[in-house]
Amino acid sequence: MTAREVLKQCFGYDSFRNGQAELISHILNGQDVFGIMPTGAGKSVCYQLPALMMRGMTIVISPLISLMIDQVSALRANGIPAACLHSMMDGDACKDVLRRVYNREIKILYTAPERLETPSLRRIAEEVPISMVTVDEVHCVSQWGQDFRPGYLKIPDFISCLPRRPVLSVFTATATKEVADDVRNLLHLRQPFCLTTGFNRENLYFAVQRPRDKFQALLDFLKQHPGKTGIIYCISRRLVEQVTEELCLAGIPAVRYHAGLTDEERQRNQNDFIYDKVRLIVATNAFGMGIDKPDVSFVIHYNMPKNLESYYQEAGRAGRDGSPANCILFYDGGDIRINQFLIDNSGENPQIDQKTRELLRQKDKQRLRIMQKYCTDDACLRHYMLSYFGDTAPAVCGNCSFCQTNCEQKDITLETQKIISCIYHLQEKNLSFDAKSLTQILRGSKAKKYQEYHFSDSLSTYGIMKEIPETQCLEIIRFLISHSLLSEKENLLYVNRKSALFLKEKQKLSMPVKKISFPAESSQQKDKNTGTDEKLFGLLDQCRNTVAQKEHLPPYIVFTDMTLRDMCRKLPVSDMAFLSVSGVGRVKLEKYGDAFMNVIRNYTAQTRKD
Ligand code: ADP
Ligand code: ZN
């Protein structure tokens, strides 16, 4: 079977997402890989899929028990033999897993880094062939990362004890250059194939607000988004308590989550959230790592977090399934003082000496300043964030609170037509130019270097954009490149299939531009109409809940909202059709196909009668 076939059969997806295919093929060729991909990009498939295709077992090192359990449930739901070993399991359960590992019944084994030292796992490693070791959240290995975890430093020792060195595949959603270098060195990656897919999450709307009354602002937001699932992050346990209580008093069900609760309550509240029994969870940053719930529709930060890395990670828990989602930060000056206090009084890690600790504090303060600038700068929030993470991003995104107030959509159909046809005509003359020169030609530059071409006689598009300022012209060209309407090779511009279609089909195009005057009232992003038949969706959702309850699984492990929506579109009533739904693989077809197809059959019969 090819990787593509395994993707459909075992995971139910038709095509790879950006970066997945490359990472997988390098792993299958035996090369180490280092994937830096934003939350929700689909990192898990990058190692789970090759793990199935390789001969031995894969060990996945993961920082959190909840993350392991979630991933293992998702794999099992797809009929994939996976298991985990963690400190919350009793002796018998561990023995049972080890027995199955010895019998070569497990393809993917999840465990925590600290476990790598245990004799039982060391013995396994000697006897059972291990094809790959995967490290998830690999930034935890670096002191310079935002959540350093000493246990991760045990990984190289474990690998060096293995009879044969496995392929190493490591993943994270955030890594500055410093952290990435640390990862490469500390884990001894061998000429790894490194891939960064870019950090942008198009479906997320980012906003910073400075409400005079944060709680009122929260209520207003919730009123505008009834029934949606969301996380509200607060900076302290006390505030979590307060906000939860006030919400409940206001008749809005919410549960709390922080490190000061009993294990039992924390687990219960987390489960209620994951199993859709309650839509809102109010939490400190202790909540979330390992929460793969795909249908979180908003993340509200009641306070400014300590750095942009944490913010992007926490806010990124919204909209993992690709649906439009909101990330709102409530900022006030007091947040800076609290964060500064937290840095000055941060936990003393006995493994870190005085000098390093001071250095780390300096780093933390610098990160805090960068975070504060995000909240106070008058600029596109997405541009600011993406630039910080090293991505090139357009100056305005059109989908953040700054852009909503300061940008408008400008029709650039005519300009696009002019630019494309100019490049066409140049290409006919076997000429190609970079963006800057093209701009000059479009604006009819008299510069010497163009004189030899006699454009004023021979090029009808010479000077047709005289009236457009140079910077604006360049922005439009960059916008066209980023939307693949032009191709750029070694800085030179070319037309492509999409540009041809644009002209031929008389398509229209607009792009966000900074408003020059009359800033309008800021408006919330409206949920884009996804065109789903809400009534059928509701019925399928009920069916999913019934199935999930019977199997003691979170509903999204059975099927995600995206999958249900695809069912609403495709209305499958045969096995073949059901298999064509995104997120349906062989095992899920067998397990759940009938139940869901019955719902669809009844529904379509009913609507036909109506
Ligand atoms: P990450 O670990 O990068 O945050 P996940 O691995 O949890 O992201 O994937 C996010 C969501 O996208 C999951 O629901 C996953 O099943 C889904 N997904 C992954 N790969 C694909 C794909 N090729 N096509 C469609 N959905 C995918
Ligand atoms: Zn923006």
Atom of ligand 1 nearest to the CA of 44: 6
Distance, CA 523 to ligand 2 centroid (Å)? 13
Residue 162, pLDDT > 60, answer yes
Label residue 238 left, alpha or beta by phi (over 0 means left) and psi (-120 to 50 means alpha): alpha
Q: Could you give the angle at the alpha carbon of 489 between the alpha carbons of 428 and 444, nearest 5°?
A: 50
Confidence of residue 549 (pLDDT cuts 50, 70, 90): very high
Where does 534-609 sit in CATH, by number? 1.10.150.80
Can you name the CATH fold of 413-508?
Answer: Arc Repressor Mutant, subunit A (1.10.10)
Distance, CA 290 to ligand 1 centroid (Å)? 14
Protein residue with its CA nearest to atom 17 in ligand 1: 42
Is the model more confident about 414 or about 406? Answer: 414
pLDDT digits (tens, 9 = 90+) for 483-523: 778 888 778 899 988 899 999 999 999 888 877 643 333 33
CA neighbor of 415 nearest in space, from 446, 390, 443, 375: 443
Residue 512, pLDDT score: 83
Distance, CA 435 to ligand 2 centroid (Å)? 23
Distance, CA 336 to ligand 2 centroid (Å)? 24
Can you name the CATH fold of 204-390?
Answer: Rossmann fold (3.40.50)
Residue 517, pLDDT score: 44
Protein residue with its CA nearest to atom 2 in ligand 1: 43
Protein residue with its CA nearest to atom 10 in ligand 1: 40
pLDDT digits (tens, 9 = 90+) for 66-101: 889 989 999 999 999 999 999 889 999 999 999 999
Question: Is 204-390 in the same CATH topology as 3-196?
Answer: yes
In this structure, the residues whose C-beta lies within 6 A of any atom of ligand 1 are 13, 16-17, 20, 37, 39-45, 292, 294, 320, 560, 582
Strands (DSSP E) contained in 247-370 are 255-257, 280-283, 298-301, 325-330
Residue 568, pLDDT score: 94
pLDDT digits (tens, 9 = 90+) for 358-376: 888 888 899 999 999 999 9
- Max mean pLDDT among 231-245, 332-346, 384-398, 493-507 falls in 231-245
Protein residue with its CA nearest to atom 25 in ligand 1: 13
Distance, CA 123 to ligand 1 centroid (Å)? 33
Distance CA(264)–CA(277), nearest Å, equals 17
Label residue 290 left, alpha or beta by phi (over 0 means left) and psi (-120 to 50 means alpha): left
Distance, CA 468 to ligand 2 centroid (Å)? 23
CA neighbor of 281 nearest in space, from 268, 294, 262: 268
CA neighbor of 147 nearest in space, from 114, 170, 169, 173: 173
User: What is the model's pTM?
Assistant: 0.69
pLDDT digits (tens, 9 = 90+) for 288-314: 866 778 899 999 999 999 999 899 989
Distance CA(185)–CA(150), nearest Å, equals 15
Residue 519, pLDDT score: 34
Atom of ligand 1 nearest to the CA of 316: 4
289 φ, ψ (degrees, to nearest 5): -60, 125
Distance CA(257)–CA(156), nearest Å, equals 34
Distance CA(115)–CA(136), nearest Å, equals 15
Protein residue with its CA nearest to atom 9 in ligand 1: 42
Distance CA(93)–CA(102), nearest Å, equals 14
- Identify any residues that bridge with 489 across adjacent strands, giving them in sequence order: 492
Domain extents for the chain? 3-196, 204-390, 413-508, 534-609
Q: Stretch 545-553: mean pLDDT, rounded?
A: 92
Atom of ligand 1 nearest to the CA of 41: 3
Atom of ligand 1 nearest to the CA of 11: 16
The SS3 assignment for 104 reads coil
How far does CA 365 lie from the centroid of its chain?
Answer: 26
- Give the ligand with the smallest distance to the CA of 387: 2
Residue 47, pLDDT > 60, answer yes
DSSP 455-514: HHHH-TTTTTTTTS-HHHHHHHHHHHHHTTSSEEETTEEE--HHHHHHHHTT---EEEEE
Distance, CA 203 to ligand 1 centroid (Å)? 14
Distance, CA 383 to ligand 2 centroid (Å)? 6
Distance CA(469)–CA(135), nearest Å, equals 49
Where does 3-196 sit in CATH, by number? 3.40.50.300
Atom of ligand 1 nearest to the CA of 7: 23
